[in-house]
Every structure is written in C-alpha cells, then in structure tokens.
Amino acid sequence: MSDQGREQWIRRAMRLVAHRFRQNRWMLAAAIAAVLAVHIWAGGDTRTVAAVVGALIVVAGLAPSRTAGLLATEAEETANGGTRGLSGENLAAAVTDPLIVFDGAGAVVHANDAAVNAFGALRPGILLLLKFRAPEMQEMIQAVLFGHAASRQIDFIERVPIERVFRVTASAVGRGTGLYVMVFKDQSETRRIDRMRADFIANASHELRTPLASISGFVETLRGPARDDAKARDHFLQIMQNQTARMARLIDDLLSLSRLEMKSHLRPGVKVDLRGVVESVIDSLSPLARESGVTVERDFPTGTFEALGDRDELFQVFENLLENACKYGASGGRVVVSIGGPDTNAERETTVTIQDFGPGIPEEHIPRVTERFYRVDVETSRSQKGTGLGLSIVKHILTRHNARLSIRSKLGEGAAFTVHFPAAE
C-alpha cells in the first residue's frame, strides 16, 4: 500500500471509530457507571476497574450498534459520503419534464429548471392556485390538497407564448410528508401527429369521394334519362373511365407513401448512376413532353455522377419533377435538366436540377408545396391529373436518401427544383 493509500485508510478507520463511539455513547456511559457503582459498593482493585473501563471503551469504538444490513450502509456512508447527493432537489433537476413540489397550502416548495423554462418564475412560496388559473388545474390541485384523491391526472393547455398541451399528474409525496408533487408531460408533438393523421385521412377520403360521387351520378343517369341515348352513353362512360383512373392514381400514390413511411429508417446503399436514371426518365416522359409542347434540354457535364440510393425510387423522384415541369410549366415551351458535380459547390454535393420557364410558383406557396394534398391551384392540378401527393412522395424518398430538395421560383419566369445528394463519405 502506498503512503497516500495508508493515510487514507487510517483516516477512514478513524472516522468509522468516531462514528461508532457516537452511536454507542449512551451504552458506554451506562456500562462505566455500572462498573463504578459495583466498585464503590463492593470495593476491589482499582487497576481491575481501570482495565474493565478501558476494555469497554475499546468495545464501544469497535462494536457495531445496529443490525448487519444497516452496518453495511453505515460503513459505506461513512466511507464514501454516501447518498448525500440523492436529495429531492437533485432528483427533481434530473427529471427532464417540468416538476413542481408544493406544500399543504398549495405553495411552491421547489420547481425544477424545466418547470421554470415552461411556466416562468416559480419562486418558493408562490401559490399554485394563483399561478395556474385554468379551472381543470384549480380543481386538480384542490382535490389533491384536500385529500379527495391520492393522485389526479388531467390535460392542461398552456396558450402562451405558444400553445402546448400537457398531461399533468399530481400526487402526495410519500406518507405524511405534507408535500405534493406535480409533473407535466408535454403532449404537443403527439397531438400534432394525431391531428396530421386525422387531416390526412379526411383529405384522402375527400379525394376519393369526389370521383366516386361523379361515377355514381353517371351510373344513375345512364340507368335513367340517358338509357337510350347512345351518344350520351359513350360520353359518360369516357368520363367514368377517367374518374376510375384518377382513383387508381390516388390509391397508387397513397400506397407509395405508406411503403416509404414503413422503410423511412432504412438507408438505401447501392451506387446509382444518376445520369442513367435521368436519361431514362426523360425518355419515358417524351410522349408527355411532346403532348405538352415542351422541348426537354440536357445540360450534363462529362464524367460519372453517382449517389447511394434505390434506382426505382430515384426514378420516381425525377419522373415526378419532370412531369410537373411539363404539366405546369408547359407555357414556357422548354425544360432544362442539368447535373452538377461535387466540384461545382462548396458542400461537394451532386445536384440534379429540373427547370421550367412557365408561370412559376408564388413565393408564399413554395414552403408548402411538398405537403400532402397541397396544391397552388386545385383545379389546374386536377385537370393535369394531379393527386397533390407527387412532391410529398419526392420529399419522403429524398429524406430516406439523406438528400434534400430546394425550390427556386420567380413569378412569370418559371420554377427550378434541385435535388442535392450529399458528398460521398
């Protein structure tokens, strides 16, 4: 053992002996008194008495006064400073949710940092009934304070500075401590996701119901007034066919989105030749380009351009972007597809840009066009066989590829959609 180790050991042993002396002091005093009483009453050798008292002192310094289990804790506490760090305040600080401890008068005893951040000043002594005025909070605090309920849980909406929804639980701390604790669980994100899901279902149902209503209307007309009108029958059947095609497109897009969501955490890891994918997209959409009166121009530098990805999904990305450029930017008469290598930008990204020269997108709509079912103009989208899901699918696929989409547009001059692939690691 080193000198320092020995010194520490001696100090620890002395602390333990002092601690046990303190614990056994009354027993020691009683034993010495008894020995002295016997000595005075019965007489005897003073040296023997001194030896007995000495032995008692040694025993008091060494003998454990409590049970074995407690002794282990005691030794540990004496040696390490023990669980002194396990104070209520330290525990409250370690909780990441807002937490407030209050007394039987409903006054704050302690609030952790998360609570102060969420609700502002919560100095000790502040009355919770004055701080939280919402009727549901008042009722819960009173119910717990008056012992109507051992613990209570409610949903509480804090509206300033921004709306947040908390699930609040209040309960007594242990038995007979006179203290109570209130914990706030932030539910805002869960609520937002629930609302998004409900909106999505409502939108999808609405999108399906519109063509369905149209088909059902035409079926009725064909069975009634138009029963014997061959010309009208052909016309209505054509409309019905278009509507079923629209429903099929919508269902395909919804399935695409759901498949992508299911594998959103999987990173595709095969090297894909971007030039090859873009070339085949341009080829496959040449009938649409021709129909729309659009010339597709290529601006590809020499060299190979690769990204880690899933070829079919990247095909879907460029197909959606080029299709939109031909449909919505047709009035510009041309679309330019360009590839930029890692040496063209500081981030060393590989980029693919699809630029049209049509009406462009008003600035305020740009941040929202990748949302599900968001269209700048619903009628134009419908007449172009749009589902309102194309750019949302693009965004999902790119997120899975660790890539991103940027949109630039000047009203009346066109729009440019750029896909940025991160530098290879």
- Interface positions with ligand ADP (CB under 6 A): 320, 324-325, 328-329, 356, 358, 361, 369, 375-377, 381, 386-392, 415
Nearer to ligand ADP, 351 or 381 (CB): 381
User: To the nearest whole angstrom, how small is the minimum distance from the Cβ of residue 258 to ligand ADP?
Assistant: 16
Nearer to ligand ADP, 98 or 359 (CB): 359
User: To the nearest whole angstrom, how small is the minimum distance from the Cβ of residue 377 to ligand ADP?
Assistant: 6
User: To the nearest whole angstrom, how small is the minimum distance from the Cβ of residue 199 to ligand ADP?
Assistant: 16
Q: DSSP 3-state assignment of 275?
A: helix
Nearer to ligand ADP, 107 or 376 (CB): 376
Nearer to ligand ADP, 268 or 386 (CB): 386
Nearer to ligand ADP, 100 or 260 (CB): 260
Edge-to-edge strand list for the sheet holding 108-111: 108-111, 99-103, 179-186, 164-172, 151-158
**Within a 13 Å sphere around the CA of 308, how many CA atoms are in the beta-carbon half?**
13
User: To the nearest whole angstrom, how small is the minimum distance from the Cβ of residue 344 to ligand ADP?
Assistant: 23
Nearer to ligand ADP, 101 or 405 (CB): 405
User: To the nearest whole angstrom, how small is the minimum distance from the Cβ of residue 328 to ligand ADP?
Assistant: 4
User: To the nearest whole angstrom, how small is the minimum distance from the Cβ of residue 389 to ligand ADP?
Assistant: 6
Residue of 421, 416, 407 whose CA lies nearest to 313: 421
User: To the nearest whole angstrom, how small is the minimum distance from the Cβ of residue 326 to ligand ADP?
Assistant: 9
User: To the nearest whole angstrom, how small is the minimum distance from the Cβ of residue 375 to ligand ADP?
Assistant: 3
CA 110-111-115 angle, 5° bins: 175
User: To the nearest whole angstrom, how small is the minimum distance from the Cβ of residue 405 to ligand ADP?
Assistant: 11
Residue 60 corresponds to which tokens in the numbers above?
A: 């008091």
Nearer to ligand ADP, 20 or 327 (CB): 327
Judge contact between 324 and 390, C-beta under 8 A: yes
Nearer to ligand ADP, 98 or 329 (CB): 329
In Å, how far are 203, 207, 242, 248 from 254, measured between CA atoms? 11, 11, 18, 10
Nearer to ligand ADP, 275 or 375 (CB): 375
Nearer to ligand ADP, 312 or 413 (CB): 413
Judge contact between 146 and 158, C-beta under 8 A: no
User: To the nearest whole angstrom, how small is the minimum distance from the Cβ of residue 203 to ligand ADP?
Assistant: 12
Element (H, E) at 306: strand 306-309
Residue of 343, 340, 401, 406 whose CA lies nearest to 369: 406
Distance CA 138, CA 49 (A): 71
Nearer to ligand ADP, 65 or 384 (CB): 384
| Phi-psi category of residue 339: left, alpha or beta, with phi > 0 → left and psi -120 to 50 → alpha | beta
How crowded is residue 75: how many other Cβ atoms within 10 Å of its Cβ?
A: 15
Residue of 355, 366, 265, 260 whose CA lies nearest to 313: 260
Distance CA 167, CA 388 (A): 35
Judge contact between 141 and 132, C-beta under 8 A: yes
Q: What are the two backbone dihedrals, phi and then psi, of residue 103, each rounded to the nearest 5 degrees?
A: -100, -175
Residue 47 corresponds to which tokens in the numbers above?
A: 């040296």
| Residues 6 or more apart whose Cβ sits within 8 Å of residue 32 | 53, 56
| Sequence letter at residue 374 | Y
User: Across the strands, what pairs with 420?
Assistant: 351, 404
User: To the nearest whole angstrom, how small is the minimum distance from the Cβ of residue 308 to ligand ADP?
Assistant: 25
Element (H, E) at 53: helix 46-62
Residue of 141, 63, 53, 72 whose CA lies nearest to 101: 141
